[in-house]
Amino acid sequence: MTAIQRRAFLAGSAAVLAARAGLAASPTGTVSGPVQPTWESLRSHYRVPEWFRDAKLGLWSHWGPQAVPEQGDWYGRFLYMQGHPVYEHHLRTYGHPTKVGMKDIQNLWKAERWDPQALVERYKRVGAKYFMALACHHDNLDCYDSRYHAWNSLRVGPKRDVVGTWERAARQAGLKFGVSNHAAHAWHWYQPAYAYDPEGPRAGERYDAYHLTRADGRGTWWDGLDPQQLYTGRHMVAPDGIRTAAAMGTWHEAHDGQWIETPPPADPRYAARWLLRQADLMAKYKPDLCYMDDTALPFGAIGLEAAADYYNRAIQWHGAPDVVLTGKKLEPHQLGGIVEDVERGFSDRLRAEPWQTDTCIGDWFYNVARLNDRSYKTAEDVVQRLADVVSKNGNLLLSIPQPGHGAIDAEEEKILDAMERWMAINGEAIFASRPWRIYGEGPTRVAAGAQNEEAAKPFTAEDVRFTTRAGALYALFLKPPAGTARVAALAAAPNAPVVERVTLLGGGTVAHRQTPRGLELDLGGRAPGGFVPAVRIDGRGLA
């Protein structure tokens, strides 16, 4: 998009944006207010709300039609890549992607065993203070009552307002409610749907997205819907003549496989429609949080317009922008304007600004292999991660994958049971806490950045994380110490804090000795919550 086009978007009213997208003007377009679509204005008007700083833990239903095949992440892209295991599964189970594509998988999403009230209450018992629903993934199905996108869950699949149903359940349970929007990447993510098998008996025959039009739907379940709106149009179509699956994969990786934050070339309509869909989502559900799956904000100036719209709406709702908008890999001038999210990664330091990490106990979309091979993160893994994040001024957003039918599996239930037991004993060390002067101590170092959690080394009994609350200091041992536990940060020294009492949460008073080597504790290998024992430390000079 040129600079002139960007200025036109920013200067335009909702009616102008709608006209550019070929849509009717709507009262659910962006709203004006004191917050302007610049980073400077976002920073000057925004402060991270205290409720978010207190919350510490959110649970996420990263759930949509890509959960139906139970094959894990990015099904809607990989089914169009010959040689990929997802392609092979799709071919065996549903048919060839020239005839049966992602549009058809979306309609197989029925949510027939989904009990949103029971799940939200379950997550509340685990300790979640906010709940997030996936509103639209890269597969471009709006999981809500979408005014500007006909491919939505009221017309396709479950025929229900999924986001709206989650929102009512979360509010009824007293939780803050959030939505995640991943649709800014659909336009390049879906381009393999316009490609073809480079090898075999159907070599060169284009997949369903390439040839389907609205007219082809007459008399079918998708009568009246335009597949090109779902698949986003031909933006980066693989050329004819590619002869091997490896070469096709290389082509996609070099072109549409990159994480692109700009609008599709020569197609500003997509970004305009995205903005209207985003504003509509905010207006309908008034979310307390909005997660953007983007480096900073999508589409540059258009993303800034969406951020200003959200904050101005929040001022109308609450009198202040008492909401949370997240983005990834923020640059210095963006910090403080929105909250930074670190996907499946770590911080290696105590951050001045509150932040969030998001992760999942398995794949983002349900993968039955995780159940069969017992490869979910354990409850101990989750709590270790929570303690590490909270000690560094962050929150943990955790996804529990749901199959297409909507009910979580037995192994996931066990993980939640163990988390619930731990929280009942140790939650005071987490919720409404604040960081201490240092985040912790111990030999295990985590690397900063996203998408690196699989490379992290296991924590040890010497790895300790600190939090503070109501004048007390809490120390969480990421592995239960077998013998004498030691906290080096509380060593006896001139002008050092004086420890007067130590209490093992769930276990009573603990004998302690403050020596030049550290605060020594006799925990006796106990971990009343099953793992990650936490102690409350009271004394003088601990603040």
Residue 284 Cα distances to 104, 166, 277, 281, angstroms: 27, 13, 11, 5
Query: What are the two backbone dihedrals, phi and then psi, of residue 81, each rounded to the nearest 5 degrees?
Result: -120, 100
Backbone angles phi, psi at 172, to 5 degrees: -60, -35
Question: In which band, very low, low, confident or very high, does the pLDDT at 25 lie, cut at 50, 70 and 90?
Answer: very low
| 157 and 67 Cβ atoms separated by less than 8 Å | no
Q: Are residues 43 and 156 in the same domain?
A: yes
The answer to whether position 221 is within a domain reads yes
Asked whether residue 254 is domain-assigned, the answer is yes
Residue 3 is encoded by which pair of tokens?
């600079």
144-202 pLDDT per residue, tens: 999 999 999 999 999 999 999 999 999 999 999 999 999 999 999 999 999 999 999 99
150 C-beta neighbours (distance < 10 Å), count: 17
For residue 439, the model assigns a pLDDT of 98
**Identity of the amino acid at 315:** I
381 inside domain: no
Q: Copy the structure tokens of residue 385.
A: 């991660």
Question: 64 φ, ψ to 5°?
Answer: -170, -165
CATH of the domain at 516: 2.60.40.1180
Please give the average per-residue pLDDT across 14-43, as a whole number: 68
Average pLDDT along the chain: 94
Whether residue 289 contacts residue 130, with contact meaning beta carbons closer than 8 Å, is answered with: yes
- The residue range of the domain holding 521 is 440-540
Answer yes or no: is 271 within a domain: yes
State mean pLDDT over 285-296.
Answer: 98
Give how many domains the chain has, as a whole number. Answer: 2
Three-class DSSP labels, 163-181? HHHHHHHHHHCCCEEEEEE
Quick: pLDDT tens for 460-497.
999 999 999 999 999 999 999 998 999 999 999 999 99
List CB contacts of 489: < 8 A, sequence separation 6 or more. 438, 441, 464, 466, 518
Kindly indicate the confidence band of residue 358, based on its pLDDT and cuts at 50, 70 and 90.
very high
For the chain, give the longest Cα–Cα distance: 84
Same domain (yes/no): 185, 326 = yes
Residue 19 sits in a domain whose CATH number is 3.20.20.80
What pLDDT is recorded for position 18? Answer: 41
- Match 């203070």 to its residue by tokens: 129
| Domain limit, last residue, from 343, 366, 392 | 343
| Residue 183 domain flag | yes
3-state secondary structure of 142: strand
Residues 449 and 315 in one domain: no
Residues 83 and 199 in one domain: yes
Residue 17 has pLDDT above 70, yes or no: no
pLDDT in tens, 382-416: 999 999 999 999 999 999 999 999 999 999 999 99
Residues 338 and 446 in one domain: no
- Assess whether 7 and 140 both reside in one domain: yes
Q: Given this model, what pLDDT does residue 106 score? A: 98
Per-residue pLDDT, 202:
98
Which one of 300, 320, 343 terminates a domain?
343
pLDDT at 543: 82
Question: Is residue 483 assigned to a domain?
Answer: yes
Whole-number Å distance between alpha carbons of 68 and 63: 10
Alpha helices in 214-300 (DSSP H): 227-231, 245-254, 268-285
- 81: tokens are 């890549």
| Chosen domain end from 294, 309, 343 | 343
How many residues does this entry show for the chain?
Answer: 543
pLDDT value at residue 20: 42
Specify the DSSP class assigned to residue 499.
Answer: E
Bridge partners (DSSP) of residue 508 are 504
Residue 350 lies in a domain: no
**Are 333 and 466 members of one domain?**
no
Does residue 429 sit within a domain? no
